[in-house]
Amino acid sequence: MDRSLAELEAIVRKRICNLCTERTVAGGCGLEEPTSCALFRLFPQVAQAIQSVSSDDIHQYIEAIRTNVCSVCHEQQRDGSCETRQMVQCALDAYLLLVVDAIEEATGKTFNKSNLGGLGAGSLTGLGPQMQL
Ligand code: SF4
Ligand code: SF4
């Protein structure tokens, strides 16, 4: 199913912002600079990275995000680390499972979440919200 980037972004905004811990009571984004949210600041790269993967293994999506999104994000340090990610303040990383699920569903694919049992706390630092799946 073909979806425009704008449609995909609207779907992901609806799904993720609604449960994001940064969301304000009024329904807006509580970040000091809402445009700094990496999920939407780099949304074209996020959508492209996720659509380039066809797998039920979340690690392949993480790898695609690291390669195609984190690599061009100004938050990432030269050694590949990211303080924002470590502090669970990157919505893209914290809600990656939900982002993958939303984009795959919107484009007519399915992401089989039953394979997530072996996922340890590590790259996906925000396992809490993701495990609401
Ligand atoms: S931080 Fe990002 S995901 Fe969270 S409410 Fe703001 S724009 Fe939405
Ligand atoms: S994890 Fe860090 S480097 Fe990657 S998109 Fe988020 S803020 Fe940027």
Distance between Cα 66 and ligand 1 center (Å): 19
CA distance 84 to 90: 6
Which residue's CA is the closest to the ligand 1 atom numbered 2? Answer: 37
Instruction: State the pLDDT confidence band at 132, using cuts at 50, 70 and 90.
Output: very low
For residue 96 and ligand 1, the question of a CB distance below 6 A is answered with no
- pTM, entire model: 0.87
Distance 7 CA to ligand 2 centre (A): 23
Mean pLDDT (the chain) is 88
- Residue 131: what pLDDT? 37
Q: Is the pLDDT of residue 73 over 70?
A: yes
Pairwise CA distance, residues 124 & 94, whole Å: 6
Pocket of ligand 2 from Cβ distances under 6 Å: 38, 69-70, 73, 75-76, 82, 84-85, 90, 92-93
Q: Is residue 104 within 8 Å of 51, Cβ to Cβ?
A: no
